[in-house]
Amino acid sequence: MRVLVTRTLPGKALDRLRERGLEVEVHRGFFLPKEELLKRVEGAVGLIPTVEDRIDAEVMDRAKGLKVIACYSVGVDHVDLEAARLRSIRVTNTPDVLTEATADLTLALLLAVARRVVEGAAYARDGLWKAWHPELLLGLDLQGLTLGLVGMGRIGQAVAKRALAFGMRVVYHARTPKPLPYPFLPLEELLETADIVSLHTPLTPETHRLMDRRRLLSMKPGTILLNTARGGLVDTEALVEALRGHLFGAGLDVTDPEPLPPDHPLYRLRNAVITPHIGSAGRTTRERMAEVAVENLLAVLEGREPPNPVAYAPWAFSSASSAGSSAASWA
Ligand code: NAP
């Protein structure tokens, strides 16, 4: 029985699959083109894909005996869940183990944007630092600012804890209010109130372009937008306009499209700090994600209930859409 893993994974988790007698094929390298994925998935009973692999009905049909798609991520917007349901293929993910790392990166982006860290580092490295001045590279003081979290699950709550330590006030929006010590606000009210807006919802048909032009414009002048969730939550073109206008800045770990082409206007904006989807990229975190993905995969193949099953949602992305692309659409 063969398992396809679409990237090399840190740590030794894959050894567990080999010890169970499974043949493990690993794609060594970066992006796995669709044509190659289609060839290599043939005959696989298990698949461990990354967020960059679009796992649609065509992929599933090529792997006739496929039993489990064990995502190496908590987000599952790259998998056509409806197609998996129709083929009785189990889908699993890796929640919890990446929560703290992703919250850490959210704070790293917030500090980088608010205190102009990337600009300052470039200023120094480029030899422009000749003298100290009281008005050089002035940024935002975090203490006393209001952080508006959109999505208040595992990562949103972990970001809230960190924000309190910086003396920020926390408000949030989610589908339903939670028994938490922070005020719940309707989204529009949150956008009018918060000094920093940080996105932590999954990408679904309801959240696609949640931050559209109208909402970006309704944010207070001088606000920071953070996105460590999914690029498709934000209208990128409108964000570029807002960053040239009333926003203080943006910290983006995810973009739409993803990756951003090197000549993208976002890279030319000094108030945008962009990282290449590294929210969970702590070594220990990435090793634990591999262990969780392997445990989920083995559980399904051995007829046990996997620890992290993904509920099939009553929607599916268009199989024509490409990974992270703004072309994504849902039935
Ligand atoms: P989670 O625990 O499931 O939390 C998701 C939150 O989003 C919940 O509070 C949920 O509200 C809210 N939500 C869902 N749909 C909504 C809607 N239509 N409107 C408003 N709120 C909505 O997920 P998590 O573990 O925190 O992860 C969140 C996302 O972060 C993942 O789906 C993934 O895409 C992304 N992520 C990115 C990275 C990275 O590398 N940058 C790493 C990890 C995760 P309810 O509680 O009311 O249902």
- Look up tokens 């949640």; give the residue: 210
pTM tops 0.85, yes or no: yes
CA of 153 to the centre of ligand 1 (A): 6
pLDDT > 70? residue 327: no
How close is the Cα of 212 to the center of ligand 1, in Å? 18
Mutation choice for ligand 1 from 171, 173, 188, 200, CB with most ligand atoms inside 8 A = 200
Cα 174 to ligand 1 centroid, rounded to whole Å:
9
Q: How confident is residue 318, by pLDDT bands cut at 50, 70 and 90?
A: very low
And the tokens for 75? Answer: 């987000």
Distance 206 CA to ligand 1 centre (A): 12
Of 27, 116, 230, 286, catalytic: 230
* Alpha-carbon span 79 to 317, nearest angstrom: 8
Cβ 257 under 6 angstroms from ligand 1: no
What pLDDT was estimated at residue 110? 99
pLDDT at 315 over 70: no
Return the axis-axis angle of helices 99-114 and 117-125, rounded to nearest 10°: 60
Report the alpha-carbon distance of residue 130 to residue 124 in Å, rounded.
9
pLDDT tens track for 138-182: 999 999 999 999 999 999 999 999 999 999 999 999 999 999 999
Distance 230 CA to ligand 1 centre (A): 9
What is the model's pLDDT at position 319? Answer: 37
Query: Rounded to an integer, what distance in angstroms lies between the CA atom of residue 247 and that of residue 239?
Result: 9
| Ligand 1 proximity of 253 Cβ (cutoff 6 Å) | yes
Dist. CA 302–CA 204, nearest whole Å: 31
Pocket test for ligand 1, best of 73, 110, 150, 155 (most atoms within 8 A of CB): 155
The rounded distance, in Å, linking the Cα atoms of 66 and 44 is 6
Percent of the chain past pLDDT 90, that is, above it, reads: 94
List residues bridging with 23 in a β-sheet. Answer: 2
Helices assigned H by DSSP within 126-235: 154-165, 187-193, 213-218
DSSP state of 317: B
- Pairs from 49-52 (Cβ < 8 Å, separation ≥ 24): 49/6, 49/78, 49/79, 50/6, 50/7, 51/75, 51/78, 51/277, 51/323, 51/324, 52/78, 52/258, 52/323, 52/324
The token pair at 66 is 């496929």
**pLDDT grade, residue 313 (50/70/90)?**
low
Sign of the torsion formed by the C-alpha atoms of 258, 262, 266 and 267: positive
Ligand 1 neighbourhood includes 198 CB (under 6 angstroms): no
Residue 45 and residue 65: Cα distance in Å, rounded? Answer: 5
The verdict on whether 258 is a catalytic residue reads yes
Compute the CA torsion angle 273, 94, 179, 185 (nearest 10 deg). 30
Q: Which of 81, 106, 157, 201 to mutate to test the pocket of ligand 1 (most atoms within 8 A of CB)?
A: 201
CB of 95 closer than 6 angstroms to any ligand 1 atom? yes
Question: 203-235 pLDDT, tens per residue?
Answer: 999 999 999 999 999 999 999 999 999 999 999
What are 1-12's pLDDT values in tens digits? 999 999 999 999
